[in-house]
Amino acid sequence: MRGRTALVTGASQGIGRACAKALAARGAVVIVGARQTEKLATLVDEIRDDGGGAEAVELDVQDQSSVGAMARTHGKAVDILVNNAGIARDGLAMRMRDGDWQSVVDTNLTGSFRCARALMRFMARKRWGRIINVSSVVGLSGNAGQANYAASKAGLVGLTKSLALELSGRNVTVNAVAPGFVDTAMTQALGDKARQKILAQVPLRRMGTLDEIAAAVCYLASEEAGYVTGHVLNISGGLYM
């Protein structure tokens, strides 16, 4: 990926952080975006210490002016967009507040659309680009207590396929990954009973790793994936088939 520049949203932790490090390790210059700039600074230092190229940008995908400022500063350089920024506000649908619905959809779905819309014109002009949306297995299967989150992640699937069709003539591919249960700080905080209940649903009987998700993103961002577009890569250990 030498000579390519990638923007990763929501890069301050978890999947976004792992994707940024993996892309940098493969030679891409990485622009890491998030609201938590202190964590971004640490990530940039780590990537540079490992010999990679990295830069941080304060980015709030819920704010169109923030996305616009990012595009004006970095848009021409970006070849690869990883739409990872996301939040969860779980609760049963019958009790869900409008604010909890709207904030999740605005961040996970509309935020991804904003970033893609802002950067795809630059990719189209270069006639090369990769957009990878981070969806979720619950966007394919649904999940009780996560109507807002599942709807936003299912929306990313539709967005992925639509953009793939619109950009196909410009040599810009658009794909998504749909992770299942991943070993993160959030899942590590669960009690043993909760973890065992989760693992009982997964045919491979383990959680995925951040590195496994990042490797899939790197493949979809690579030259080798040039004939893959409109695809949703289900990385759930067989949880959803």
What are the residue numbers of the active site?
149
Q: What are the tokens at 3? A: 């000579």
- The span from the CA of 10 to the CA of 23, in Å, is 15
- The amino acid at 141: S
Query: Is residue 52 a contact partner of residue 76, using CB atoms and an 8 Å limit?
Result: no
Kind plus residue range of the DSSP H or E element containing 8:
strand 5-9
Q: What are the tokens at 79? A: 């070849």
Cα angle: 17, vertex 203, 88; to 5 degrees? 40
Q: What are the tokens at 47? A: 């990537």
Sign (positive or negative) of CA dihedral 40, 46, 49, 50: negative
CB atoms within 10 A of CB 224: 10
Taking CA atoms, 186 is separated from 107, 112, 202, 236, in Å, by 19, 23, 18, 17
